[in-house]
Structure 1
Amino acid sequence: MIAVIDLFAGAGGLGEGFSSLRDSSGEPVFETIMSIERDQQIHETLRLRAYVRRILNPDGSVPEIYLDYMRNRNNDSLEKLKAYAPDEWEAACEEALCAELRDGDNTLVELGAERLRKWRASHPNSPFVLIGGPPCQAYSLVGRSRRAHDEDFDKDVKHTLYKCYLAFIQSLQPDIFVMENVKGLLSATHQGHGVFKRIIHDMEEAGYEVRSLVTEHPEAPRDYIVKAEKYGVPQMRHRVILLGVKQGSGIKTGTLEASKTATLRDALTGIPRLRSSFSRRTRELGDSDWEKYVDCAATQILETDEGTCLASVFEKASECGHPMTSSSEHITAVSGKYNSWYRRRFGKSALLTDHDARSHQASDLDRYLFCAAYAEKYGHPAHLEDFPSRLLPNHKNVRENNNSEYKFSDRFRVQMWDRPSTTITSHIAKDGHYYIHPDPAQCRSLTVREAARLQTFPDDYLFEGNRTAQYTQVGNAVPPMLSQQIAAVVADALEVEAKPFVGGVVRHDEPPASN
């Protein structure tokens, strides 16, 4: 078994992929001996997952006590869950640390070295892999565009957090490391110097060769970009991922193997239809009859020049009927392409959590209805230029526009059934305008569970905290299905045969691996 330390772990998407990988005998290839996350709520998610991995039934399914916690999510059910296997809970607490990595403070580096020595005492000659990625906000192209002054960007301490990662490499000398970050890393500068070039230099100075997961002979920074949709993930998520190997080790590494494109429909098969819900302000204004409001909105859209062509779409939607509820706790179908990925640990249970529609202002329901119908009719999302004038948002740069070319013209973005979704980011926690459900009858944005599915988290993965915190955790994560394929590349380099689940099947026609 191969030891793993996960830095800047977040909700655990990268670690989930490594932990879920099985060898040809069905045994886990990797074991996380330490993960670090500084945010308390996110750490609770990470710790819970570390515990769940330890208490799975012999057939790989989750125990009933965990299903009870998924249903209830209260202190009483949590205490019962912890009491179910107290030794395993203690081990999970030891594994998942709530702590902050700081440049120049080697306390956690020393703790990691101690954990590794303890591990190797019982696993002689075990390889060791370091995974994780520094917080990416400092490198985000969107974040940088919003800064008023370049000097604010240069002063951002997040630039130096990769040095914490580097300190672990220098001290613990992993056989292989995996470091993930946003594309903006490639063009970011710090005090006038390219951040990406500096990172590569520092890793090479530490004794490592930095390789690509997409090409054997990288020639430019863009050759380190991994496009998730090429590897079975139903989402267009592009991230920089560096694969570091000790210089002179003789370790040979392969690349990720492309698979058939997965779509939003593949990911959401079986997810129950929901109606949106009204915001408190909307309810206070008296708009509380949802069906009546949506039917009226459709009629008004059809009366506009831009909406006249949508009659057939609205007729088709009405034939399906209005969704009857704004939340659902049960899956409705189990025949989806990715069912054995999302539902593999549930046994006969149809439980589904975190599938609750968020509240929207009434005017946004009109826009969501129009956007979904327009996309179904024309095969592409609407921009503000396509909107009836009555649906244009009351924003300053829209009101003052005179040329019909709007800044952020895709601020209301419907996701398309037969394509991968756009990138799920932490912005989904603020509003759902970029993540409109494609069914016109539902008039809503994606739920936490739907966003988690697009990120390829299995349905038994719980995100602690309130809904805003859950959306943030999902948006900032690495897709576990992609991570599992990266883990398979690492395992193969360390001469362990493994079978990742990709594109609805497991490589080499093996049955799906259970965690």
Structure 2
Amino acid sequence: MTGPRLAKIARITTGSRLRVLELCSGCGGMSLGLQSAGLEMLGHVEQDSTAAASYALNFRAPDGVSADVWRGARDMEKHGPDDLASELGIPSIADGFDVLAAGLPCQAFARIGRSKLRSLTGDDDAYRNDPRAKLYRRFLEYVAAVQPIAIVIENVPDILNFGGHNIPEEICETLDALGYSCSYTLLNAAFYGVPQMRERLFLVAYDKGLGLTPSFPAPSHAADLPSGYEAARTVALKFIPETGSHFSPIPVPADGLPGAVSVKAALSDLPFISEHWRKPIEMRRRKVADRLAYREFTGLSAYAKLMRGWKSYETGGDVDGHVVRLTPRDFPIFRRMAVGDDYPRALRIAEEMFTVRLAELTPRPTEESDDWKAVRKACVPPYDPGKFPNKWWKLDPTSPSRTLTAHLGKDSYSHIHWDSRQQRMISVREAARLQSFPDGFKFSGAMNAAFRQIGNAVPPLLAKAVGEHLRSEITGAATSRMKLDRARRRAA
């Protein structure tokens, strides 16, 4: 064990909080969860300026750090540990932090991201050459500089199969050589109180001097994984080595746990939104920061109460984030879709509407004429159902939602509100609720930027569960170690 790590373990036994540096922090989903678990957020690195601005809106700068420095965007590749130490006013980066965390960019690892890279470049192996895929190596350089006693990494399950290569195993092998004990597993956010089926890989490492192998939090909720998630999990697990693996069995819900939080329980008290089709000019003028009153609602769910009353992020009688996409062609389709309908069904509905519209015209346009094409364009989305079978999806109010993605606001109707009267996709605040961001959490930027930040984030409630488990394990192990060391010194 190195001197800095030994000093950090000794410090923890005095009751001091674990100090965290997060890399690739985004707007702060993991930071919020770790902070709520009792850890202290003292530094972060994020290259997206809008996400960095959101982080600064929601987390107080450490003493002695200026607001400009705290909200500044930093490129992890170009911004080294020494640079960060200088900006934060600490003598050495190894002196300032006990925990190093990162939600490394997943676009190159995720299958959906690989497809997009392929389409943009025409290169079947573009994802292998994406610089974001190599950031984990830069992360390991930060580990060597920071000398944390604990490490947390979050990513998509597909990182287990990066062109046939298991990246978490490589990371663990490197960390082994640096004096850490490592484990990784898959956690689904729905098992930890998040109203969303979101499967993610978590890797946790502890300094070997603590004398324990990392484990993972037990689920707080029970849920049935849909077949698609089960299949993706099965594929990912095929790349776990048969021997010598650092993989930890996926935690299984115990009997008697409450069911997963449903979409309806998560969103029902949020404002009714209809301006997008009743008063589109008003919706165009609305900002993410504009506030509306909560709905009058009896029987407020425990989840909604948590989102309204999260410590340090409490709200009063109103809340922000009520912006949605304006695509008038699609609103009637949304209204006619049934819960659980996907894009092929939406396309059939649109074709039926197109047929009715043509029949109402006198004279009826001839097929493939300019007028016929104009009517069709006004009724029927242009997407190929063979390529985009899941592009649209109407939420089931009785279940957790599908996984939120970063492109939610730009080119996807993967989360259409179940209430047909509102005939729309979810709003920014509803997306934040499904990701377990409290209502008092603010997002910088316009609608698409807010959706991107939310979709890229680690669900705070999931991060909180990981953080609480980590803090308990580290505190217990550090205390036991120091007691043993004192006993040995007395015996000598």
TM normalised by structure 2 equals 0.70
Any idea what the Cα deviations from partners look like across 1:332-388, whole Å, max 9, x if unmatched?
Answer: 247222133211157682121012333122x201221122xx22xxxx334515733
Shift of 1:30: 1.4
Q: 1:242 to 1:99 in 2, by over 3 A?
A: same
The SS at the match of 1:33 is strand
Residue matched to 1:7:
23
Q: What letter is aligned with 1:440?
A: S
Q: 1:237 is aligned with what amino acid?
A: R
Partner of 2:384: helix, strand, or coil?
A: helix
Distance 2:420 2:198 in 1: 25
Letter in 1 for 2:18: I
CA distance in 2, matches of 1:455, 1:116: 37
Quote the offset at 1:184 in angstroms: 1.6
RMSD: 3.1
- What SS is found at the alignment partner of 1:435? strand
Unpaired stretches in structure 1, ≥5 consecutive residues: 22-28, 55-86, 122-126, 213-223, 289-326, 399-405, 498-515
User: 1:495 aligns to what?
Assistant: 475
The answer to whether the Cα contact below 8 Å between 1:131 and 1:177 also exists between their aligned partners in 2 is: yes
- Residues 78-121 of structure 1, C-alpha deviations (whole Å, 9 max, x = no match): xxxxxxxxx78x55555554211117955446559973859969
2:342/2:390 contact within 8 Å kept: yes
- The equivalent residue for 1:359 is 326
Distance 1:149 1:239 in 2: 27
Q: Does 2:295 match 1:272?
A: no
- Output the amino acid matched with 1:134: L
> CA distance change for structure 1 residues 409 and 246 in 2, over 3 Å: closer, same or farther?
same
Name 2:431's counterpart in structure 1: 451
Cα deviation for residue 225 of structure 1 reads 1.3
Which stretch shifts more, 174-183 or 337-346? 337-346
| 3-state SS, counterpart of residue 21 of structure 2 | strand
Write the mapping of 1:109-124 to structure 2, written as runs, cut at 5 A.
111=86, 115=90
Residue 487 (structure 2) aligns with: none
CA 1:396/1:133 → structure 2, altered by over 3 Å: closer, same or farther? closer
1:466 is matched with which residue: 438, 446, 456? 446
Matched, 1:138 2:138: no
Match of 1:343 in 2: 308
Residue 335 (structure 2) aligns with: 369
CA distance in 1, matches of 2:395, 2:293: 23
* Amino acid of the structure 2 residue aligned with 1:338: Y
Shift of 1:443: 0.3
The answer to whether the 8 Å contact 1:113/1:172 transfers is no
For 1:244 and 1:172, the matched residues in 2 are separated by: 14
2:48 — aligned with what?
A: 39
Alignment deviations for residues 56-85 of structure 1 (CA, whole Å, 9 cap, x no partner): xxxxxxxxxxxxxxxxxxxxxxxxxxxxxx
Other structure's SS at 2:55 match: helix
1:415, distance to aligned residue in structure 2 (A) = 1.0
Residue-pair matches, total = 381
Counterpart Cα distance in 2 of 1:357 and 1:184: 30
Segments of structure 2 that go 5 or more residues without pairing to the other structure are: 1-16, 222-259, 283-289, 354-378, 478-492
When residues 167 and 450 of structure 1 are mapped into structure 2, their CA distance, relative to the original with a 3 A threshold, is same
Q: Does 1:421 find its partner at 2:421?
A: no
Structure 1 residues 237 and 348: alpha-carbon distance in aligned structure 2, compared to 1, 3 A threshold: closer
Indicate the residue corresponding to 1:162 in structure 2: 136
1:348 & 1:5 partners in 2: Cα distance? 28
The change in CA–CA distance for 1:348 and 1:167 in structure 2 (over 3 A counts) is: closer
- Percent sequence identity is 26
**Residue in 2 that maps onto 1:195:** 167
Distance 2:93 2:169 in 1: 35
With normalisation by structure 1, the TM-score equals: 0.67
Q: 1:113 to 1:250 in 2, by over 3 A?
A: farther
Q: 2:384 corresponds to which residue?
A: 397
1:143-174 Cα offsets, whole Å, 9 max, x none, are 11231323322221112111221112112221
SS at match of 2:128: helix
- Provide the rounded CA distance (Å) in 1 between the counterparts of 2:330 and 2:46: 36
Shift of 1:17: 0.7
In structure 2, do the counterparts of structure 1 residues 358 and 116 end up closer, same or farther at CA, with 3 Å as the change threshold? Answer: farther
